[in-house]
Structure 1
Amino acid sequence: MAADSLPVTTASSAPVHGDGAAELPWGEVWGQDAAVHALRTAATDPAGLTHAWLITGPPGSGRSTLARAFAAALIAEPGDENAMRQVLAGTHPDYAALRTEGVIISIKDARALVERSYFSPSLGRYRVIVMEDADRMAERTSNVLLKALEEPPERTVWVLCAPSEADLLPTIRSRVRTLRLRDPEVADVARLIQLRTGVDAQIAEQSARHAQRHIGMAQRLATDAAARARRDDLLRAVLRVRGVSSAVDAAAEIVAGATDDAKALTAERDQAERAQLLTTLGIAAGAAVPPAVRSQLKALEDEQKRRATRSLRDGIDRVLTDLQSLYRDVLMLQFGRGDDLINLELAGELRGVADAWDPARTLTVLDEISETRTRMEQNVSPVLALENMLITVAHGRIL
């Protein structure tokens, strides 16, 4: 992929705060006042500006949104709202952002981004390179980035985003300034979701709680009744696991649910991309694809398959996160804490499990779920990994 065609993130053209007041470029950043203050200060004070930043925080905390806002503040002259909007929309020539659509960031894309970082700013004050999903780099890819961080151009600023510092190599961590984002409260996320979507307060609160304060996931749950029902069905299926047979059935149900979810998220986009490519190539709808351009269509299809693989694995990881919340609730009940449950709607079933198990068994299951997430990152078959985990749930021990 050429540097100029790197996938870019997008933002709305009119960021607003919860009170409706527009404020470029920080208006879309929510609940991170300390981080905004630190980056605003850095953007206006060259003496305090570091050439490489790492923004860390839990999924849904707004890492990418904050990185875009910082880029806009660095690139645009103060008060130049047009330039800020260009950066937020991903169209400014001095802004580049990479977010992988696959399971990992390819070394080819990383090299293209590094090459682009050596260009001098063409219109803005700085050239800003944002790498989302920086935790999805293999060691070889990380070393490509390391060279750019060791010898940065004078007016280039790198902004990396990852869940935590531990997700990156120590050599990279030593060359960046880390900014940690706070985890918002359920009530705060619920208010934001209600403001954005107009759903009633009960659904907003339930969605924020089930999403474990992940803003994007909470918004999806709040606006998609099918997604809420699918989550409930999968958790109940796991609670019904009693032996190998039911473990196998539940594993298949999880994979099928995650597959349906992934298809729902990608099918419409895939179809639109294909139609756009054919239009660009001058091929009418329904017409045969000439041999000369089939390679371009094949490249698009391969990219879409990689995106589908990531979407499926992300969906299964989301289910595993939900299962962690389920057995976290069981553990809370076992220690007499029923006032802070994530899955309140399943309180009766959870109390039954809490009474039937001892805390050691619950901890074993939680450890196995965590280990399953690690195995999934290592490309283990999802069905086999889930079956193994659910057999541990059924027997209370690792077999």
Structure 2
Amino acid sequence: MTAPVWSQLVGQEPAVEVFSAAAASAAAIVAGEVAETGAMTHAWLLTGPPGSGRSVAARTFAAALQCVTGAGCGQCPGCRTALAGTHADVRLVVPEGLSISVAEMRALVQAAARRPTSGRWQVVIIEDADRLTEGAANALLKAVEEPPERTVFLLCAPSDHPEDVSVTIRSRCRQVTLRTPPPEAIARVLVERDGVAPERAEWAASVCGGHVGRARRLSTDENARKRRDAVLRIPRGLRRPADVFACADELIRTAEADATEESKVRDEAEQEAMRTAMGAGGTGKGVASAKRAADAAVRQLEKRQKSRATRTQRDTLDLALVDLAGFYRDVLVTRSGADARLVHPDHAAESAAAATEWTPESTLRRLEAVLACREAIEWNVKPRIAVEAMVTTLRDG
């Protein structure tokens, strides 16, 4: 028997209560009954730390809104198609580049103005709404200010930069903040949903920093585990000046390799599908014209794929920087004797050794260098320049 859709939200019981009440109210509205006042609204902003499950929460809420029972049964066609991403009335915007363009948002707003084909709700999910350009945000604002009767907007944004979503949009949304899932809940879902061995699941949950997707990858991908170990060897491996450039090069190369590995198969499949759709490989009259059109369309697709690869590379590098920051945080925790959970408990011996060699001031300078590197890359500083500057400080303290 399929579990209710809410089971996909790991460790988010308070948010589930809010979404459940809203879904029940939405079902009452569709049925023409009296709905609970204030439970349902047309615009939502879902925030939370990385890995907390913002997009999963949006999808499960969308499924509950399309559910024939209004409870998110997980079994009806509305639930299944919404979760699978094939529901005609659930539109998902996942930015593959560095931003969401105004043209993309205008097309989405226009489509969202239509009546739902199922008679229930037209749901628009915008992942990473903090990447909206100013023009795109203005186009969305008009729709949020004067929403169609049965349209719901679900915006997702990281809690560390909620101000990146314009204040005018935020003021018109009901905000739901997700929390970092506890390790016990993450381990349980890895075992029950993904079939991971309990010991491996507990380890992955303890070192993922509350990031459910990262825990799944660490528990199932040996290369991901090797990359993490390589990153965590950097703080104690900077002995000579030459190590600065070697470590910086390894960080950049690892990020590029990870992005290439993640994008290659998808890129090739997209290009082949594009050529087929444009009539490539056909015979007869008009073939030359079709081929030119197909080649032009593929070139546009390749530009979008390049932008997506850049974003993937930056995200991968940022993940490595988060791991580094966690190590220096563990050194400070160990040095202070605080009773706090370590970010990398499996590297407790290394952080303890560093705590005896480094002063708290030098450790803090190293941590600040990592955070400054993350910020510099967000501001489009060349990753290699930012990383080399950071690693220099990591070595010198």
With the length of structure 1 as denominator, give the TM-score of the two structures.
0.87
Match of 2:200, as an amino acid? Answer: I
Secondary structure of 1:120's aligned partner: coil
How many angstroms does 1:385 deviate by?
0.5
How many angstroms does 1:319 deviate by?
0.4
- Indicate yes or no: 2:103 matched with 1:108: yes
Match of 1:65 in 2: 56
Q: Which runs of 5+ in 1 are unaligned?
A: 1-20
Deviations 1:240-266 (Å, cap 9, x if unpaired)?
124543222211100101111111111
Q: How does 1:1-399 map to 2 (within 5 A)?
A: 21-45=1-25, 46=35, 47-48=37-38, 49-78=40-69, 81-164=76-159, 165-242=162-239, 244-284=241-281, 290-337=291-338, 340-396=341-397
The 1-side partners of 2:3 and 2:195 are apart by 22
Aligned-residue CA RMSD in angstroms? Answer: 2.3
Distance 1:245 1:257, change over 3 A: same
Q: Which runs of 5+ in 2 are unaligned?
A: 26-34
Deviations 1:56-107 (Å, cap 9, x if unpaired)?
1122222112211212222343278112222222222222110101122222
Deviations 1:342-380 (Å, cap 9, x if unpaired)?
223322322222112221222222222122111111111
Distance 1:346 1:70, change over 3 A: closer
More moved, 199-208 vs 287-296? 287-296
Secondary structure of 1:290's aligned partner: helix
The 2-side partners of 1:278 and 1:291 are apart by 10
Matched-pair contact (CA < 8 Å) for 1:35–1:179? yes
Distance 1:154 1:139, change over 3 A: same
Matched length: 375
The 2-side partners of 1:59 and 1:256 are apart by 23
Distance 1:63 1:357, change over 3 A: same
Match of 2:32 in 1: none
How many angstroms does 1:284 deviate by?
4.7
The 2-side partners of 1:65 and 1:124 are apart by 24
The 2-side partners of 1:29 and 1:349 are apart by 34
Match of 1:175, as an amino acid? Answer: R
How many angstroms does 1:195 deviate by?
2.5
Match of 2:172, as an amino acid? Answer: R
Distance 1:350 1:25, change over 3 A: closer
Match of 1:15 in 2: none
Deviations 1:278-301 (Å, cap 9, x if unpaired)?
33344459x999333210111221
More moved, 331-340 vs 320-329? 331-340
How many angstroms does 1:142 deviate by?
2.1
Match of 2:253, as an amino acid? Answer: A
More moved, 95-104 vs 79-88? 79-88
Deviations 1:319-344 (Å, cap 9, x if unpaired)?
01111111111111111147632223
